[in-house]
Amino acid sequence: MLVLVYAFTRDSKHWTVHAERIQVGGAERTFRIVLPDSDMRPAMAFPLVIAFHGIGDTAESMAESTAWDRLAGEQQFVLVYPNARGGSWEITDPDEATSSPNADIAFVDTLVKHVSADYPVDRDRVYLIGMSHGAAFVRLLSASRQQLFAAAVAHSGSEPNFMGDDASAYILPTLFVVGDADSVPTVEDVTLAAKQHAAKGGATELIVAQGVGHAWATDFNATMWDFLAKHRRESGAGVAR
């Protein structure tokens, strides 16, 4: 597998930003990476957060709307914003037999390996966050790749159709977030998803942000990070190869 890296750097107070490209299955995929202003020696081990944008958005627009760059600098974690092809993530049932594998899951597999090889990442503290359609993709990854991750934040996302009552394996610790003024999904929709997740035995928390519509609840950034940071990947969890 050939990995190509092109980077630009923009220095800020507590972090540095790079744009990178990798080859996945013959296709070029891009992502934005934020590195804390710290000693990135191999002996160090930093948490990794992967942030998935909504439909029609980009890595850059999610960085602007969430203000997580600053959080990465302050809390000292590596932050990656992947770009979806065509502005949306491929969400298909991981148990459904198809002739072609999910290209976005393959992208995430390669991305985790690439970032972990190039930067000192603690593989037991790799986290997912997603907004809207990106949150739905986070739920898919919770189902298909939960052995890779420690916890997730699903913000304002509708549940994929296959994440119903019969799904028993999707129990990655998850914080659900929704604005009380959101209409798609509604507070009721997200509350039901959180209850179903808890009923399966997954560590579950729910935030209903007052006065927030279909937008990132930046006032709760610290709460979201605190939720992620208290979880580590379960001992003995495998690594996808």
Q: What pLDDT digit, counting tens, does each position of 151-196 carry?
A: 999 999 999 877 654 444 568 999 999 999 999 999 999 999 999 9
Q: Roughly how many angstroms between the first and final C-alpha of the chain, as a whole number? A: 13
Sort strands 151-155 and 174-179 into parallel, antiparallel or unpaired.
Answer: parallel
**Rounded to whole angstroms, how far apart are CA atoms 34 and 73?**
8
- Residue 6 resides in a domain: no
**Rounded to whole angstroms, how far apart are CA atoms 231 and 94?**
24
CATH of the domain at 43: 3.40.50.1820
pLDDT for residue 60: 97
User: pLDDT tens digits for 79-89?
Assistant: 999 999 999 99
- Residue 15 resides in a domain: no
Q: What is the DSSP string of 37-78?
A: SS---TT--EEEEEEE--TT--HHHHHHHH-HHHHHHHHT-E
- Residue 4 resides in a domain: no
- Residue 58 resides in a domain: yes
The residue ranking higher by pLDDT, 11 or 97, is: 97
Contact criterion met (CB below 8 Å) for 180 and 208: yes
- Residue 222 resides in a domain: yes
What DSSP designation does 219 have? Answer: G
Residue 46 vs residues 5, 126, 184: alpha-carbon distances, Å = 21, 9, 35
Please state the domain count of the chain.
1
User: pLDDT tens digits for 34-44?
Assistant: 999 877 776 78
Q: How far is CA 142 from the centre of its chain?
A: 10
**Rounded to whole angstroms, how far apart are CA atoms 196 and 223?**
22
pTM for this prediction: 0.89
Share of the chain above pLDDT 90, in %: 75
Where does the pLDDT of residue 146 fall: very low under 50, low under 70, confident under 90, or very high at 90 and above?
confident
- Residue 30 resides in a domain: no
Range of the domain at 61: 38-93+101-229
